[in-house]
Amino acid sequence: MTKNIYFLLLILIFGGCKKEHKIKSCTSIEHKISVLNEMKYLLQDTTEISWSERQFFNEIRTIANDVEVLSATVDTTVSIQHTYSQIKDNFLAHAALVTQKATTFYNGSTGKIILARNAFVLMSYDALERKYPEFMWTQLGIFAANEVRSGLVQALMLRQVLIDNNINIPFGATDLTTTMLQSAQILIDGQIDVLTDIGSFGILNKKVGAAKIKNETWMTNEAKEGFRLQEQAENALHVGNCALYQDIQTAAAIQFGAHEQVYILQPMWDKPLMKQFADIDKLMIQLTGHKFVFFGNIFVGTNKDRETGKGYTIVIPNNVNDLSNAAQRVKVAINGFNTLNNLRKGTVGSDWIDYSQVKIGYYKDVYNVVWIK
C-alpha cells in the first residue's frame, strides 16, 4: 500500500467529526460514493495487461456501470413479477453483449472469455453496491465472486501447463484439461445466473420498494423473508438507528443468500461434474483439517497473493465440508455476512472493504494470467 493510500485512510479514520462517522456507519449513499471516488485516484495497477486489453476492460466496466438503463424503460404498470423479468432480461442482454465483445477481442479463446465474463460480474457487483448500498448482498457478493475468480485463474493456468507440455491425465470419462475447462464454464454460468437474479432483486427493491415486494406469491419464501427484513432495515435507517439498520440489513442479506444457494446455484452443483469437484474438495478439507479448501473461504481484499497480512479471510465454518449441499453453503453465507457486518462496523475495516471493492471494480491488482490461450 502506497504512502498516499495510508494518508487517505488516516483522513477517513481521523479527519471527520462524530456526525460524519455516524453517517458513514449508516452507509450514507452520498458519503459512500464520495469515499469510493476519492479512492479510485490512488489505485496502483500491478495487473499484467496490455494497453488494448485495458481499453477492453474499460468498455466492460462501462457496460457494468450502466445500471440505471436496466430499469429505465421498464413498465411498472404491470405486475411486480413482470417488472422483475424485464430487469433481468436487460441484465442478461448486458451479459450477452460482454460475451460477444470478449469472443471478438480474444479470438474465441474460451479461457479468456470466461475470465472476462467474471470481470463483468465483479464490476457489476461494484456498480450495484455503489448505486444501491442499502442492499447489502452485493457487499459480500463481490468478494465471493472474486474468490471464484482466484480458483478459475488457478485452474486455467494448470490446464495451460498440461496442454503446453502435452500431458494427458485421464479424469473420469475424459481428461483433466477438458474437465477443468468444463468446470470453469459451469462456474461462470452459475455466477451470471446469480448476478442477474440478485442484481434484479436489488434494482427492483429500489424501484418498487420492499414493502410492496415482500408478499409476492411467486417468490421463494427466503426471498420474501429477505424483502420483509429489508423493509425493516430501511425503516431503521430512516430514523437514524445505524446499528439496528446494519444488523437487520445483514439478516436480509442472509435470506437472499439462502435463496441464491438453494434455488439458483443448486442446479449447478447437482451436475455430475460439479458433484465430483465437491467430493474432491471435501476430501481435501478432511485430509488437511480445514486448512486447505478449493472454495468456501472468502478473502476480503483484492488479491490474497499480494495482500498477505492486509486483507481478512472469512474461513469456512468447521461444520461445512460439502459444497454440493445447499444447507452447508447457506452456513457459509451466514458466516460470511455476519463476519462482514462486524468488520464494516469498525472504521478501518469499513475503509478496507470500500478500497478493495474499488480495486476489484476497476480491474486493478486482480487475479489474472496473461499466457493462457
Look at residue 26 in the predicted model and tell me its pLDDT.
Answer: 65
Which position has the higher pLDDT, 127 or 171?
A: 127
370 within some domain: no
Q: Residue 15 CA to chain centroid, in angstroms?
A: 30
Task: Determine the structural domain holding residue 354 and report its residue range.
Answer: 3-361
Closest C-alpha among 198, 211, 41, 215 to residue 132: 198
Answer yes or no: is 11 within a domain: yes
12 pLDDT exceeds 90? no
Alpha-carbon distance of 55 to 132, in angstroms, equals 27
Structural domain includes residue 367: no
Give the span between the Cα atoms of 251 and 256, in whole angstroms: 9
Q: CA torsion sign, 86 to 90 to 95 to 101?
A: positive
Closest by CA position to 123, among listed 191, 44, 48, 26: 191
Instruction: Indicate whether 200 belongs to any domain.
Output: yes
202 against 74, higher pLDDT = 202
Is 90 exceeded by the pLDDT of residue 76?
Answer: no
Name the percent of the chain lying above pLDDT 70.
Answer: 87
According to the model, what pLDDT value does residue 27 have? Answer: 54
Q: Grid cell 436487460 — which residue?
A: 90
201 closest CA partner among 249, 137, 247, 246: 137
In the predicted structure, residue 240 carries a pLDDT above the cut 70: yes
Domain count, the chain: 1
High-pLDDT (> 90) share of the chain, %: 63
Among the listed ranges 48-52, 248-252, 337-341, which one has the minimum average pLDDT value? Answer: 48-52
Residue 243 domain-assigned (yes or no):
yes
What does the H/E/C string look like for the chain? CCHHHHHHHHHHHHCCCHHHHHHHHCCCHHHHHHHHHHHHCCCCCCCCCCHHHHHHHHHHHHHHHCCCHHHHCCCCCCCHHHHHHHHHHHHHHHHHHHHHHHHHHCCCCHHHHHHHHHHHHHHHHHHHHHHCCCCCHHHHHHHHHHHHHHHHHHHHHHHHHHHHCCCCCEECCEEHHHHHHHHHHHHHHHHHHHHHHHHHHHHHHHHHCHHHHCCCCCCCHHHHHHHHHHHHHHHHHHCCCHHHHHHHHHHHHHHHHHHHHHHHHHHHHCCHHHHHHHHHHHHHHHHHCCCCCCCCCEEECCCCCCCCCCCEEECCCCCCCCCCCHHHHHHHHHHHHHHHHHHHCCHHHHHHHHHHHHHHHCCCCCCCCCCCC
* CA quadruple 323, 324, 326, 327: dihedral sign: negative
**Would the pLDDT of 11 be above 90?**
no
Mean pLDDT of 231-245: 94
Residue 373 lies in a domain: no
pLDDT band at 275 (very low <50, low <70, confident <90, very high): confident
Q: Does the pLDDT of residue 214 top 70, yes or no? A: yes
Per the model's pLDDT, the better-predicted residue between 295 and 234 turns out to be 234
Query: What does the block give as the cell for 31?
Result: 458519503
Number of Cβ within 10 Å of residue 111's Cβ equals 22
d(CA 347, CA 329): 29
Q: Partners of 290 in the beta sheet?
A: none
d(CA 190, CA 312): 25
pLDDT at 267 over 80: yes
Query: Residue 371 falls within a domain, yes or no?
Result: no
| Domain assignment of residue 37, yes or no | yes
Q: Decide if pLDDT at 17 tops 50.
A: no
Q: What pLDDT is stored for residue 7 in this prediction?
A: 37
Phi, psi torsion values for 174, nearest 5 degrees: -135, -150
103-161 pLDDT per residue, tens:
999 999 999 999 999 999 999 999 999 999 999 999 999 999 999 999 899 889 989 99
Predicted confidence band at 35 (pLDDT cuts at 50, 70, 90)? low
Residue 6: the pLDDT is 38
Mean pLDDT of the chain: 87
Confidence of residue 44 (pLDDT cuts 50, 70, 90): low
Q: Between residues 190 and 38, which one has the greater pLDDT?
A: 190
Higher-pLDDT residue of 283 and 169 is 169
* Cα-based angle 349, 353, 357 (whole degrees, multiple of 5): 170
Q: With a cut of 90, say whether residue 290 has pLDDT above it.
A: no
